[in-house]
Structure formats: C-alpha cells, structure tokens
Amino acid sequence: MATQSKSSNGRSAKAGATKVKSGTKQAKSGAKQVARAERNQAQTVAAAAVDIPVGAVLSVTDRVGELVEPFTGRSTAERKIKAYRSELRRTLKRTERRGTGARRKATSEAKKTRNRVEREAKNRRRTVESTLKKNRTEVEQRVRNAIDEQTTRAQDIVDQVTDQIAALR
C-alpha cells in the first residue's frame, strides 16, 4: 500500500501543478482580454472624438452649398427671390387673417360680456327698486295705521273729557 500511496501522491502533485499552470494561463488570457477590450473602447472614443467634428463640418458645408446654389446664376437667383417674396406674402396674409379672426372673436366676447353685465345690473336694480317700493308702501301703511289709531285714542280721550266736563255742569 505504501507504493500505491507514493504513486498516487505523485500523480496528485503533477495534476495539481498542471492545474496551477492552466490557471495561470487563464489569468493571463483574461488580463489580455481586458486589456484588448479597454484598447478597443479607447479607439472607439477617439474615433468618435474625431468623427463628430468632421461630420459637423460636412453637414455645414452641405447646408451652405444648398443655400448658395440658387444664387449662382442671375435667373435662378431672381426665381428664388420671387419664390421667397410670394411665400412671405402668403405668410403675411395668413397671419393677417388669423389676427383679424382673433380681433373679431375678442370684440364679440367683449360685447357679450358687456351685455351680460348690463343685463345683470338691470335685473338687480329692478329687484332693489321693487323691494324698496314694497317696503315704502308697507311703512306708509304702518304709519297711517298708527296715526289713525292715535287719532282714535285722542278722540276717545277728548270725548271722555268732554263727557266728564258736561257731567260736572
């Protein structure tokens, strides 16, 4: 059994050494992959840093070319100016129509509001006047009743005093 354990120990040691070597290789391979990915990312960022300004310059160049092209010849320039004038005229007319419509609408709303306020004020005035008239009539009636009552009492007292004077004679 001792021989077997020696040989199995030797095999285990060799297998362990092989595993360590392959682990070291894998670690080196992983580090290389990380370095490669970082390098690729840096290249991508650097390319974008160069490509964006170049693309912007090309876009501006195209746009300037589009703007200048109609004005290279006299007839094309005149046509383009005529087109701009007619477009400006149409836009101006459209804007004027919108402004006219908005003004009419605002005027109409103002008139409606004024009429509504006047109608409400007239109704409130009528209500106040009718209440005032009713209250005045009621107060006048109370005053007349009080005067009549006091006049009747005074007459009764005068009649009593007259009867008493006549009885004394």
Residue 28 within a domain: yes
Give the domain range for residue 55: 15-70
Distance between CA atoms of 78 and 73, rounded to whole angstroms?
A: 9
Tokens of 116: 């509504």
Residue 132, token pair as written in the block:
């005032």
Is residue 63 in some structural domain? yes
Two tokens, residue 103: 């003004």
CA 27, chain centre distance (Å): 59
Handedness of CA 97, 99, 105, 110 (dihedral sign): negative
In a domain, 106, yes or no: no
In a domain, 44, yes or no: yes
> Rounded to an integer, what distance in angstroms lies between the CA atom of residue 72 and that of residue 89?
24
- Residue 10 falls inside a structural domain: no
Query: In terms of pLDDT, which residue wins out, 66 or 4?
Result: 66
pLDDT tens across 94-146, in order? 999 999 999 999 999 999 999 999 999 999 999 999 999 999 999 999 999 99
Q: Is residue 36 one of the residues assigned to a domain?
A: yes
* CA pseudo-torsion sign 34, 36, 37, 42: positive
- One-letter-per-residue 3-state SS of 58-115: HHHHHHHHHHHHHHCCHHHHHHHHHHHHHHHHHHHHHHHHHHHHHHHHHHHHHHHHHH
**Does residue 72 surpass a pLDDT of 50?**
yes
Q: What gap in Å lies between CA 114 and CA 124, rounded to an integer?
A: 15
Check residues 129 and 5 and name the one with the higher pLDDT: 129
Give domain status of residue 104, yes or no: no
List pLDDT tens digits, range 17-70: 555 555 566 666 777 888 888 888 888 888 778 788 878 888 888 888 777 776
Contact between residue 98 and residue 91 where contact means Cβ atoms under 8 Å apart: no
User: What's the pLDDT at 1?
Assistant: 45
What total number of domains does the chain contain? 1
Between CA 52 and CA 82 the distance in angstroms is 37
